[in-house]
Chain A
Amino acid sequence: MIPSFPFLKKKSLDHAGNVFLPSRRDFLKIGSLAGGGLLLGVSFQCTTKAQSQAFVPNVYLSISPDNTVTIIAHRSEMGQGIRTSLPMIVADEMGADWSQVRIVQAEGDESKYGNQNTDGSFSVRMFYEPMRKAGATARHLLIKAAAQEWGVDAAACVAENSTVIHSESGRSLTFGALANAAQQLELPDQDTLELKEFSSYKLIGKDTPIIDLKDFVTGKAVFGADVNLPGMKIAVIQRTPVVGATITEYDASEALAIPGVLQVVKISGSGNPPGLTKPLEGLAVIADNTWAAIKGRKALQITWDLGDNASYDSKAQLETMKQSTLEDGMIRRERGDFNQAKQGAAQVIERTYEAPFYAHGTIEPPAAIAQFVEGKMEIWAPTQHPQWARDSVAEACSLSADDVRVNVTLLGGAFGRKSKPDYVVEAAMLAKETGLPIRVQWTREDDLHHDFFHSHSMQRIRATIDADKNLTGWNHHTVFPAIGATSDANELHPSDGELGLGCIDFPYEVPHIRIETHESKAHTRIGWMRSVSNIHHAFAICSMMDEVAEAVGKDPVQFALDMLADDKALDFDGEIKGEFGNYGESLEDYPWETTRLKNVIRRVAQESGWGKSLPSGTAMGFAVHKSFLTYVACVVELMRDDSGEITIPVVHYAVDCGIAVNTDRVRSQFEGGAIFGTSIANTSAITLKDGKVEQNNFDGYQLVRMPQSPKKIHVHIIESNRKPTGVGEPPVPPLAPALANAYYKLTGSRVYALPFKL
Chain B
Amino acid sequence: MATYELTINGKQYQVDAEEDMPLLWVLRDLLDMKGTKFGCGQALCGACTVMLGDSAVRSCTLPVSAVGSGAVTTIEGLSENGDHPLQKAWIEHIVPQCGYCQSGQIMNAAALLKNNPTPSEDEIDQAMAGNLCRCGTYNRIKEAIFTAAT
Residues of A within 8 A of B (CB): 77-81, 207, 209-210, 212-223, 225-226, 228, 234, 259-260, 289-292, 294, 360-365, 410-415, 441, 443-444, 664, 668, 671-676, 697-699, 703, 705-707, 709-713
Contact = CB atoms under 8 A, between A and B. Distances in A.
Contact of B87 (A218, A414, A697): A218
A213 B102 CA distance: 10
Interface in B98-134: 98-103, 106, 124-126, 128-134
A639 to B, nearest CB: 14
A296 to B, nearest CB: 12
A715 B88 CA distance: 24
Contacts of A291: 18, 20-22, 25, 29
A414 B40 CA distance: 16
B28 A290 contact: yes
A668 B29 contact: no
A705 B129 contact: yes
27 contacts: A79-B98, A207-B94, A209-B94, A217-B90, A218-B35, A219-B75, A222-B34, A228-B34, A234-B29, A289-B25, A361-B134, A362-B100, A362-B134, A365-B39, A411-B98, A412-B99, A444-B45, A671-B140, A673-B136, A676-B134, A697-B41, A697-B42, A703-B134, A705-B132, A707-B125, A709-B136, A711-B139
Given A219-B74, A290-B29, A363-B101, A706 B141 contact: yes
Contacts of B38: 225, 290, 365, 441
Given A217-B87, A698-B45, A674 B96 contact: no
A676 B136 contact: yes
Contacts of B99: 79, 212, 215-216, 221, 223, 410, 412
Given A81-B97, A212-B99, A289-B29, A707 B129 contact: yes
Interface in B9-33: 18, 20-22, 25, 28-30, 32
A363 B34 contact: no
A220 B35 contact: yes
Contacts of A710: 139
A218 B135 CA distance: 19
B136 A218 contact: no
B91 A213 contact: yes
A210 B102 CA distance: 14
B132 A698 contact: yes
Contacts of A703: 132, 134
B57 interface: no
Given A221-B99, A707-B126, A444 B91 contact: no
A711 B141 CA distance: 12
B147 interface: no
Nearest to A224: B100
A292 B97 CA distance: 32
B9 to A, nearest CB: 11
Interface of A is mostly: loop
B65 interface: no
Contacts of B141: 706
A71 to B, nearest CB: 20
Contact of A672 (B100, B126, B135): B135
A234 B29 CA distance: 9
Nearest to A208: B94
Contact of B1 (A79, A218, A225, A259): A259
A421 B103 CA distance: 27
Given A365-B38, A412-B37, A698-B132, A217 B29 contact: no
Given A219-B103, A697-B44, A668 B94 contact: yes
B33 to A, nearest CB: 8
Contact of B100 (A294, A360, A364, A671): A364
A707 B122 CA distance: 8
Contacts of B87: 217-218
Contacts of A413: 98, 100, 134-135
Nearest to B98: A79
* Size category, B interface: 35 or more
Interface centre among B76, B94, B135 (most CB of A within 10 A): B135
Nearest to B87: A217
B20 to A, nearest CB: 8
A414 B135 CA distance: 9
A213 B37 contact: no
A363 B137 contact: no
A698 B42 CA distance: 9
Contact of B82 (A78, A218, A294): A218
Given A219-B103, A413-B100, A697-B40, A363 B140 contact: no
A706 B135 contact: no
A289 B30 contact: yes
The 6 residue pairs across chains A and B that have the minimum distance between CB atoms: A219-B35, A412-B100, A675-B136, A79-B98, A672-B136, A219-B75
A29 to B, nearest CB: 31
Given A291-B18, A674-B136, A706-B142, A444 B100 contact: no
Contacts of A705: 128-132, 138
B139 A410 contact: no
Nearest to A705: B129
A219 B77 CA distance: 10
Contacts of A361: 134
Nearest to B29: A289
Nearest to A530: B134
Nearest to B1: A259
B47 interface: yes
B23 to A, nearest CB: 10
Contact of A217 (B36, B82, B134, B139): B82
B91 A214 contact: yes
A443 B48 CA distance: 13
A503 B136 CA distance: 27
B48 to A, nearest CB: 11
A215 B75 CA distance: 11
Given A80-B97, A363-B101, A365-B38, A709 B138 contact: yes
Contacts of B1: 259
Given A228-B34, A675-B133, 5 more contacts: A221-B99, A225-B38, A363-B134, A706-B124, A707-B125
Contacts of A699: 42, 44
Nearest to A225: B38
A443 to B, nearest CB: 6
Contacts of B82: 214, 217-218
Nearest to B106: A217
A706 B36 CA distance: 21
A706 B44 contact: no
Contact of B98 (A215, A364, A697, A709): A364
A219 B136 contact: no
A444 B133 contact: no
B3 to A, nearest CB: 14
Contact of B75 (A218, A292, A664, A673): A218
Contact of A363 (B39, B94, B125): B39
B44 A672 contact: no
Contacts of B132: 363, 698, 703, 705
Contact of B34 (A226, A289, A673): A226
A290 B25 contact: yes
Contacts of B44: 444, 697-699
B137 A217 contact: no
A618 to B, nearest CB: 18
Contacts of B125: 706-707
B40 A444 contact: yes
Contacts of B94: 207, 209-210, 213, 664, 668
Contact of A706 (B42, B95, B128): B128
Nearest to A218: B82
Contact of B76 (A210, A218, A676, A697): A218
Nearest to A258: B18
B74 A668 contact: no
Contacts of A207: 94
A217 B102 contact: yes
B36 A219 contact: yes
